[in-house]
Structure formats: structure tokens, C-alpha cells
Amino acid sequence: PALSRPAVGIDLGTTKSCVGLFRDGRVEILSNRQGLRSTPSCVAFTESGRLLGEEAKSQAALNSPNTVFGAKRLLGRVSGAAAAPQDPHRWPFLVLQAEGDARVQVSYKGAEKSFFPEEIVAMILGHLKEVAEEHLGQAVTHAVVTVPAHFNDSQRQATRDAGVIAGINVLRILNETTAAALAYSLHHPDNGERNVLIFDMGGGALSASVFSIDKGVVEVKATAGDSHLGGDDFDNCLVSFLMEEFLKKHRENISHDGRAVWRLRTACEAAKRALSSCQKATVSVDCLYRGIDLQADITRAQFEHLCAKLFQRVLRPVERVLRDAKLSQSQIDDVVVVGASTRMPRIRELLQDFFGGRPLNQCLNADEAVASGAAVQAAILLEDRSDVARNLLALDVASVSLGVEASTGKMHGLVKRNAAIPTVATRTFTTLHDHQPDLLIRTYEGERSIAKENHLLGRFLLKGFSPAPRGMSLLEVTFYIDADGILSVFALDKIMGSANPVIVDARKGRLSKEQILRLAEEHEKYRAEDRAQKWKLATKNYLQSCAFSVKRTSEDILNYFTLQAKKKMVEKCQQAFSWL
């Protein structure tokens, strides 16, 4: 049956994404056109148009400079911090720095074009939206979108902007571990109060969160993570090793050949997956470079040795989150693993050893748990009448401390990391000069005592208050962090009160409303072009099918036609084939 306001849960992953729908008291993971329940977070640009998901990934080896993946790692990052230092060198597409922002440059329809990361992510979200619409047979405009628990304000705002560009009303930006905890609560409704650690490791990031779960109330105690530790990094490690081996053996450097690197990456990813269940895997690529084949056997022990530095980082967020939650390993009742990368045996061994050999809880589908929890949250926010949705509640926390720069240059704290959200902090500011016309407040995220050593969240310029001698203006500034973990700032002139509203000019280094509106219009234009291209292809296939059918029919009933009629039918078929 049609839903009055269908809302989906979207697990927006670095390498793969998934979409779920909650209805009739249960979660359904929706399959894409290829019948798969997860979709590559991949966009390709060609001479004729865009390709998304599986179609984009399948042609990547032949079109690597114009196939964009891992765009989630670029979200909300300003110039100089667009990604980890090694990322741009590993990507076959070009990442530019323009006006303080990272942009992806590709060749699209014969012309060079640059895209904001938000645009690329919007294309992925739009594709998942279409998957849901095809399944439901009606428009889908509401969604809960998940992000890593340690995403900062800029990254969360960029994710929300991407949703707006894609034509989605983002009901909530939900932490991936919180979504997994909701899915866990769905499977364990009556277990009493429990301390649960959710360990989520996907393709691009690692998140760990501790929850107190009691009678459907999911309360986050602490959260931590590593934004550049995921399955992709293990793939990169294996790719680098085999490229070096190829160079030593054949004196050929393939790093500048995008097609060869992509084919090697695909083979390495397959080998990594195989090593999760086997002790040995073979990386085999025919004619990798200049007619030279690559074939190498990799054992699990060898793989773990190559990636030793990455494995050493796995437990750091776990140690930190337990320290922040003020809990010991023995006080954790359940350790739940989600995310495809947790299938690596070494990851599970490290976690089990850390928790004293205790078995890990693998009750959740590693690939679908986050999308399931997001779908449940969407149902809760839309006030679904089912008992399941009504009996669940998620209480989240701020992933990073928030503060302002004091006149001494130190960080003056406003909201501490792991404080419950939504939350409000109010401070009173004054001017340093006589008749000062405005006041600039710099807001930072981070844990360092010196403000400039933290991440600059934004500059808030207060204007319109009453000019007065130094120290006489009193401005009450309210910092509000909403349930999405996104900051808003409001100000009031305490001398004049509401009679003199203070204008807050927020400069957070993100897309302006005008830019978002323009990009949303462009997104719709791209979608219209895609529909036209699909219609053209479908019509062409139909004509080809008709021509073959007529040709086959004319051969089967040849004796029933006159010579002239047979000749005319054959000519028409040949004309169709020639045109095609």
C-alpha cells in the first residue's frame, strides 16, 4: 500500500551505500536495478551522460579519470585539508583546490567540468532516492541520512546540503553507530539495561560508540573514531605493495596508468575479501601493463604484516571511547560489530583479545545494520504508529568539543565532547573599542587549549547593535547545537533588548543558500538528461528488437510472401540495422 509520507533510511557509505524502509513493523532493505541490496558510491561522467552505482563502477577501468569514488572523504573539508595526504595521489580523478574548497574535475560531454563534493554525494543520494521510488511506486522526499559518529559540524552540514541538492528533506543526520544501536534494540527489545559497544568499520572510516540501552531508550555515552581508516586503506596498502613488486620485477611503473591501477585495485579488493575466509588468495590481472601479466599469491599472514600499521590503529578509538565513558572492558555487556571491514579476521581477533576473549556479537547484518537503524529513525520522526517505532528513542551526543577564541588566543569551551544533544550554551560578549560597529566571534572544534590549534568551525560577525563606549555593549550570544550536531548562532543586545535585533552573519566556509539552489537546479537538469538518455536507449533497443523479430518472422514464413514483399521486408530490416 502507498504510504502517506514515505521516509527512507540511507546509509551513505564511502564505498557502498544502502537504503532501507520501515513499514508494517519491520525494516525492508531495498534492492537496486541490478537486484543488489547495496550500491557502489560511485559516479561516472561520459560523452553521453552520467552513470551511477553499479553502472559507474563496471566501466571504471576504461574511464578511470572520470569515475569518482570516495567523495564522502572530501565532504566539509576546506583547502589544505581536503583529504588525507595520500588520498589525492591514489585517486585517478583530479581534485582541485578552488576558492578554499576542494572540487573534483572531470571530462563531461566533451568539456572539462568541476563539481563540489556535495554535488557528487547528491548524485549518489539522488540515485538511492530513485531506487526507493521505483520500489514504492511513488515519490520519496524524506530521509534520514547517516554519517560517521566523529563527523564534525562542517561535514554534517555538507551532508545535509547534499540532501537538499538531491531534492531530499533530510529529517535527521544520524550517527552510523547510533543507527546500528537502534537496529540492535530492534533485535533485543527486552534485555534490560545494558552497556553496548558498537564497532563500525566500513570502506572509509572507523567509528566506536558506547551506549546504555534500556527498554528501547538508546543513550550514547561516548563516541570516537578515525576518519581515514577503512577497507579502502587496506586495499591501498596491498595495491602499493604489488605496484612496487611489479616495478622491481619488470622495471615498469604503472602508477601513472589509471586503467592499470583500477584493475589492480579491483583484484586487490577481491583478494582481501577472499582472505577473510581463506588462508591464501591470488591476485591475477591479465595484460596489466604493456602486455605484462601480474600474478601474485598473498597469504593472510603476509597481508596482516603489510597492513600492520593500519591494524595498530584499530583499537585506539575503542580505548578512547571507553575512557570517555568511564567504563572498563568488563563493564561492557555486548560488543557488536558492523561494517563490511569487520569481516577481516585480524580485526575480530584484536577486538576479542581486547575484551578478554569474549565472543563478539554478530547478530546484525554487517552491510545493512546502519540502513536498518536509519529506517527505524525515519519512522520514529514521522511518528509511525507501530509499537516498534513508538517504543524506541535515540539520545545522541556531540562528537567534538566546541569553543570560541578568547582575547588571549585560548579556547574558551562552550560544549564538551560527548555532551548530550540538542544543547544550548549562552555567553555574554562585549566590545574592546569605543563605538565598535561589529563584533567577530571565531568558533572552533577540537580538544586543544590553544584555539588556532583546533579546527575553525566558522566566523560569526555580529552587526546592528547599539554603538557604545568600550565594554558597555553587552551581547548575549546563544550557541545551539541541534539533534543533527550542527551549530546555529543567535544574538541579543542586552542593553536594547528585542527592540534592536542583532544580525548574525555566519561564515562557516560552506555553500551559500544561493549556491545550493543553483546546484539543486543543475541536479534536476542532470536527472532530466539521464531520463532522456535512458528513453533514447530504450527506444533504440525496442527498434532493434522489432527489426530482429521481423527478420526472423519473414524467414519462418517465407513461402507466404510474394517476392516483392519479402524483398521490401529485408530492405527495411537492413535499413534499421544500418541506422542502429
| Residue pair 493/472 in contact by the 8 Å Cβ criterion | no
**Is residue 341 within 8 Å of residue 226, measured between CB atoms?**
no
280 neighbors 304 (Cβ within 8 angstroms)? no
Is the separation of the CB atoms in 182 and 198 below 8 Å?
no
Residue whose C-alpha cell reads 547478530 in the numeric block: 363
Catalytic residue among 118, 119, 130, 176: 176
**Start-to-end C-alpha separation, the chain:** 41
DSSP, collapsed to helix, strand or coil, labels residue 505 as strand
> Which residues are bridge partners to 94 per DSSP?
105
Residue 65, exposed/middle/buried by CB under 10 A (0-12, 13-18, 19+)?
A: middle
- Dihedrals phi, psi of 265, to nearest 5 degrees: -60, -45
Is residue 432 within 8 Å of 439, Cβ to Cβ? no
Catalytic residue among 57, 72, 129, 272: 72
Taking the CA atoms of residue 212, residue 216, residue 220 and residue 223 in that order, the dihedral angle to the nearest 10 degrees is: 90
Contact criterion met (CB below 8 Å) for 375 and 163: no
Active-site residue flag, 176: yes
Q: State how far the Cα of 550 lies from the Cα of 577, in Å rounded to an integer.
A: 12
Active site residue 87: no
Cα torsion 467, 470, 472, 478: sign:
positive
Cα distances from 41 to residues 53, 165, 508, in angstroms, run: 6, 17, 27
Per DSSP bridges, beta strands 94-98 and 101-108 are: antiparallel
Q: How far apart are CA 508 and CA 510, in angstroms?
A: 5
Burial label, 306 (beta-carbon count in 10 A; 0-12, 13-18, 19+): middle
Which residues lie below 8 Å from residue 55, measured CB to CB, with a gap of 6+? 44
Helix (H) / strand (E) element for 436: namely: none
87, 119, 161, 200: the active-site residue: 200
Q: How many residues does the chain have?
A: 580
Catalytic residue among 11, 119, 130, 367: 11
- Cα→Cα distances 401→255, 323, 508, Å: 40, 16, 17
Neighbour count for residue 500 (Cβ, 10 Å): 12
Bridging pattern class, strands 94-98 and 142-147: unpaired
Distance separating alpha carbons of residues 232 and 361, to the nearest angstrom: 24
Distance CA 163, CA 516 (A): 10
Active-site annotation holds for 200: yes
Half-sphere exposure of 34 (CA within 13 A, CB side): 13
Q: What are phi and psi of 435, to 5 degrees?
A: 55, 40
Residues 228 and 205 sit within 8 Å (Cβ to Cβ):
yes
Distance from the Cα of residue 577 to its chain's centroid: 44
Residue 361 is classified by DSSP as B
As a dihedral over the C-alpha atoms of residue 75, residue 79, residue 82, residue 87, rounded to 10 degrees, the angle is 150
Active site residue 72: yes
Active-site positions read 11, 72, 176, 200
